[in-house]
């Protein structure tokens, strides 16, 4: 059974840092593009970052560039999101999702989603 499970969310002060993890089971993470997407009541769903199977291709939405870093450990079948210089507006539920195949799958729908982890940035 394909499953993605996020962890690492919590309450953090503005300017603080947090590392999110996404553990995959039932499939080989290395074979897929992976994404982080967040959801807030105000801004809806927002794609924030993607990474290909061997971490050769990485992309970010402009609002998190220079603050967030996506990475993966294929041996552990785990995706990460390191978040620094957090702001109030980063408060959201963060989802990891699988995309297309590592070869030719950069532009593909988000087919498997985790249940999300809540990040709250507040003083």
Please name the residue that has the structure tokens 């962890």: 7
Q: Please identify, using beta-carbon distances, which residue of 53 and 114 lies nearer to another protein.
A: 114
User: If binding is defined by CB under 8 A, does position 82 make contact with another protein?
Assistant: no
User: If binding is defined by CB under 8 A, does position 32 make contact with another protein?
Assistant: no
Q: Please identify, using beta-carbon distances, which residue of 38 and 72 lies nearer to another protein.
A: 38
User: If binding is defined by CB under 8 A, does position 31 make contact with another protein?
Assistant: no
User: If binding is defined by CB under 8 A, does position 2 make contact with another protein?
Assistant: no
Residue 31: CB minimum distance to another protein, A: 18
For 109, the token pair is 């729908």
Q: Please identify, using beta-carbon distances, which residue of 13 and 87 lies nearer to another protein.
A: 87
User: If binding is defined by CB under 8 A, does position 62 make contact with another protein?
Assistant: yes
DSSP symbols for the chain:
--EEEEE--EEE-TT--EEEEEEEESS-GGGEEEEEEEEETTTEEEEEEEE-TTSS-EEE-GGGTTTEEEEEEGGGTEEEEEE-S--GGG-EEEEEEEEEETTT-SS----EE---EEEEE--
Please name the residue that has the structure tokens 């503005």: 14
User: If binding is defined by CB under 8 A, does position 23 make contact with another protein?
Assistant: no
User: If binding is defined by CB under 8 A, does position 44 make contact with another protein?
Assistant: yes
Q: Please identify, using beta-carbon distances, which residue of 111 and 122 lies nearer to another protein.
A: 111
């Amino acid at each position: 059974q394909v499953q993605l499970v996020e962890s690492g969310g919590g309450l953090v002060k503005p300017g603080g840092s947090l590392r999110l993890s996404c553990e995959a089971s039932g499939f080989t993470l290395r074979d897929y593009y992976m994404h982080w997407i967040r959801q807030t009541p105000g801004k809806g769903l927002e794609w924030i970052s993607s990474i290909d199977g061997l971490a050769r291709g990485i992309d970010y939405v402009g609002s998190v560039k220079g603050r967030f870093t996506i990475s993966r450990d294929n041996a552990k079948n785990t995706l990460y999101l390191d978040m620094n210089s957090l702001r109030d507006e980063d408060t959201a539920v963060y989802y990891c999702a699988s995309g297309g195949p590592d070869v030719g799958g950069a532009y593909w729908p988000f087919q498997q989603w985790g249940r999300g982890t809540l990040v709250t940035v507040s003083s």
